[in-house]
Amino acid sequence: MDIFQWIEDLSDELREAGQYRLVELINRIPHELHENHPERVEAMLPEALAAARAMQHPWLEVFFRHWGLQNRMRNLAEGDKALPEAVSLLEFAHRDQTQQCPQSVCVTQDIAICYGNVDGPGWVPERLAVSEETLARIEPSRACYDCISREYALALMDDGRAADAVEYLQRQAQNMLRDGAEPGVAYRETQAGALFRAGRFDEALSELAAIDEDDMVDDDDGDRLSRQTFRALVLAHQGRIDEAWDALPEYGPLIVPLLYPRWSEAMALIAQAKPEYNHWRLGRLLMSMATHMDQVGAHRRCIEQALRHGELALLRNAPWSARRALELARRHQPLLRADLGAAQQIDAFAARLDAAGGGEFALPMPAEQVYEHVRGSEGSDPEQDMELLLAAYAQRRDDGPLAGLLASAMLACGAREEALAHLWDFVGRHPGSEESPAGQLLDQLLDDADAGAQIERLAALLQPVREPFAHWCRAQLAFRQSRWREVGGHVQRLLAADPDARGANRLWARAAMEEQDFAQAVQLYAALAEQAEQPGGDDWDLMSAASAAGDWDAVRRSAARLGMELSDSEGPVRESWGWVRVRYERDGESYDCLARRTGPVTAQVTTVAPPGRPQHVRDEVVFDAAPLEPAPEDETERERWLAPFRVVHTAHRADYRSWFVDGAHPGDAAFEALCEAVEAQEWSLWVRSSDDYRVRDPNTEEDEALPGVYFFLATPPHSSPADVDRRLHELTAGWEHPLSWPQLAEQAGADVSRHEAVIEAYGL
């Protein structure tokens, strides 16, 4: 059975059953994976799996677990960390109730990928065997043939047989073309990869360019970013450094771990040729890449990343960073399935590091001056400061500020584990010191989702000697773990020991807002605002809390303190203050809606979302007053810019539903009349087509183009689909060219064939 047909049929069945959210997850999870958004896949996957299991649908569970693994092993490059799930899914996908699932074939690819991530060269025989066995039972016309053939070729390349991989991929491509299939984007990039590994650089570049030119259907942002990175690597190997630098994508969230090996190799070649790019920030980045491979059990990649970082550290005279890289590489060498020269590479690097050691470091100034010297240096380089700070700290191990500065340098260099160990050592020896960097330690622990036990350990250590700070630790931990009600208890105990701790009240107020205990938040923010020397942030936060609580008197008091003039003196605040962007978060993704501002921190949403997506139109929302983005520096851009604000509460949910309407534009007058009629019924219309959208004119022999329009129409819950369908017919009666709204007609039980005929006639 064809995978894509199965998914399409399954989606139709789920829509008929009203499972629109599940259909959305089926489509979005693979999409977000290919767009390099692993965090969004992780956010959606638990809901998807829970739904599949609740429906007792094992095929759907195979589908979601497969894509979850693909996300972990492709985007996140997991090796040993993903292996238990890969083995478990392989067993699950070959049970009686699942072995006929089309996606079960893909699960064998998951195993091959996982072996490749753990230690690609070390697992070559097993990767070849599992790929060969799978290819023997599938036809070249199936999509899986493309995927599994790629895995076989990648194993050949890891075995040093790039020339064989080139020939193999050509043969497999011919098989696909013979059976009516076509190699996809990833397959062709793998062909370029084989050419590159075979030393045929110009041919590799030509193949990458050909993929760009062919504008293939399955191309996406993730593929394009991968090709950009690969192109930069090939150019760097050719010594075309300036071109490589221009081609290499800037590092950012979309450079997922899957791209780390090629991106870092290209960057290393560039930095070797141009020392101005070889700085401590690059070192921190490359070390973070190696640390990721360490954490996910990708052993050979970890060694390669660590040595790449170490070599550049030697070039910029950063022995401390180079030693850390060596330690990491050595730790993973015994975990390889087959050494294949890794130990020799590590030993060779260690010899170069020893040769560059330069003897024992001598302090160029008294140890007590080092802190002020480093703090006072403009453009300080933490790697270059490291030896100085370590030598000074060796003489002044009771110096709290120096200990904190050393930890900051370690963190700047990406040495978080070393920094934590250092901070624990100092705080453990000086728990009662006010100069102790305990706050720095707490901040680092709060960044770790699994550090609850460590934060409690810190609180217990400080409880006898710094009781307020111990309560602060526990309050922060409760907030971090979304235990909102507990935050207040810890803060109250803190305030009993230190009544002036206003920051603690602010944390309590934030927790009350998250718990939607708006009355408590109003009380806390009001006290903070009254204590403030001048109006400011506490008043704005108070207005958010008070607007959510419906305490309009409190809103007016803060507005008056801030110098705002409101139109009414009592009742709900209802202003007309233009436009604003409000931001929501869902599935690890943030998205903005346009809204009319109705008060200092309130708005009514006007954006109509497409069918099947979360709908907020006409919702009345409260937002946080702090803009989420700074205004553009360019004055022209700033004039058109709308600041985005985070939605903190929906005061009224309109629960509108949207429909898609498409067709020929009726002319400005007719369309404006439609918009006015829609608004009179308290419906919402949101045009999504551009001015150059065109449809076919079926009344001409040459099928000339007509101006077109498509829009989302949102209707309130009391308007049934049949009522909306009937009213739309009335509002568009007499138009020369009819519009189409098939989904609405289907829900209304109306004649869908009429809309299908419009779609066919006008080429919609």
Query: For 152-191, what is each residue's pLDDT tens digit?
Result: 999 999 999 999 999 999 999 999 999 999 999 999 999 9
Q: Domain check: are 534 and 556 in the same one?
A: yes
pLDDT of residue 446: 93
- Apex 427 CA angle, 421 and 428, nearest 5: 85
Residue 358 has a pLDDT of 59
Tell me which residue range forms the domain holding 538. 516-571
Q: How far apart are the first and last CA of the chain?
A: 30
Query: Is residue 681 located within the same domain as residue 758?
Result: yes
Tell me: pLDDT of 63 over 80. Answer: yes
Computed over every residue of the chain, the mean pLDDT equals: 91
**What value does the mean pLDDT take over residues 294-301?**
96
Mean pLDDT of 436-464: 92
The CATH number assigned to the domain holding 739 equals: 3.30.70.260
3-state secondary structure of 657: strand
Q: Is the pLDDT of residue 588 over 80?
A: no
> What's the rounded Cα separation, in Å, for the pair 42 and 561?
44
Query: Could you tell me the pLDDT band of residue 65, with boundaries at 50, 70 and 90?
Result: very high
Query: Residue 248 — very low, low, confident or very high, per pLDDT cuts 50/70/90?
Result: very high
Q: Are residues 208 and 158 part of one domain?
A: yes
Considering the domain architecture, whether residues 639 and 693 belong to the same structural domain is answered as no
pLDDT given for residue 150 in this prediction: 94
Check whether 1 has a pLDDT greater than 60: no
Tell me the two tokens of residue 318: 């950063």
Provide the number of structural domains found in the chain.
Answer: 7
195-234: per-residue pLDDT in tens? 999 999 999 999 999 999 998 888 888 999 999 999 999 9
Residue 2 scores a pLDDT above 80: no
DSSP state of 632: P
pLDDT at 503 over 90: no
**Residue 350 included in any domain:** no
309-366 pLDDT, tens digit each: 999 999 999 999 999 999 999 999 999 999 999 999 999 999 999 988 756 778 888 9
Q: How confident is the model at residue 430 (pLDDT cuts 50, 70, 90)?
A: very high
Tell me the C-alpha distance between 655 and 668, whole Å. Answer: 30
Q: Is the pLDDT score of 400 beyond 80?
A: yes
Q: Note the pLDDT of residue 590.
A: 84
pLDDT at 129: 92
User: What CATH code is carried by the domain that includes residue 166?
Assistant: 1.25.40
**Which amino acid type is present at position 104?**
S
Residues 113 and 148 in one domain: no
Query: What CA–CA distance (Å, rounded) separates 648 from 623?
Result: 5
580 has pLDDT over 90: yes
Which of 440, 462, 484 finishes a domain? 440
pLDDT of residue 612: 76
How many other β-carbons are positioned within 10 Å of the β-carbon of residue 115?
24
Among 172, 200, 219, the domain boundary falls at 219
Which pLDDT tens digit goes with each residue over 708-764?
999 999 999 999 999 999 999 999 988 889 999 998 998 888 888 889 888 888 888
Percent of the chain past pLDDT 70, that is, above it, reads 99
Instruction: Please give the pLDDT value at position 531.
Output: 86
Verify that 594 and 665 share a domain, yes or no: no
> Which runs of consecutive H residues, i.e. helices, occur in 297-341?
299-315, 319-332
pLDDT at 548 over 90: yes
Note the pLDDT of residue 586: 81
Q: How confident is the model at residue 101 (pLDDT cuts 50, 70, 90)?
A: confident
Q: Are residues 528 and 601 in the same domain?
A: no
Which range, 321-330, 569-578, 694-703, 726-735, is most confident? 321-330
* Residue at which a domain ends, from 546, 571, 596: 571
Q: What pLDDT is recorded for position 83? A: 93
Determine the Cα–Cα distance for residues 244 and 228; give it in Å rounded to an integer. 10
Same-domain pairing of 608 and 661: no
Are residue 630 and residue 541 in the same domain, yes or no?
no
Kindly state the average pLDDT of the residues 10-37.
86
pLDDT at 297: 96
Do residues 561 and 642 both lie within one domain? no
As a whole number, mean pLDDT of residues 260-286 equals: 96
* 645 in the same domain as 661: no
| pLDDT recorded at residue 177 | 94
Q: Indicate if 207 and 153 belong to the same structural domain.
A: yes
Neighbouring residues of 429: CB distance < 8 A, sequence distance ≥ 6: 397, 398
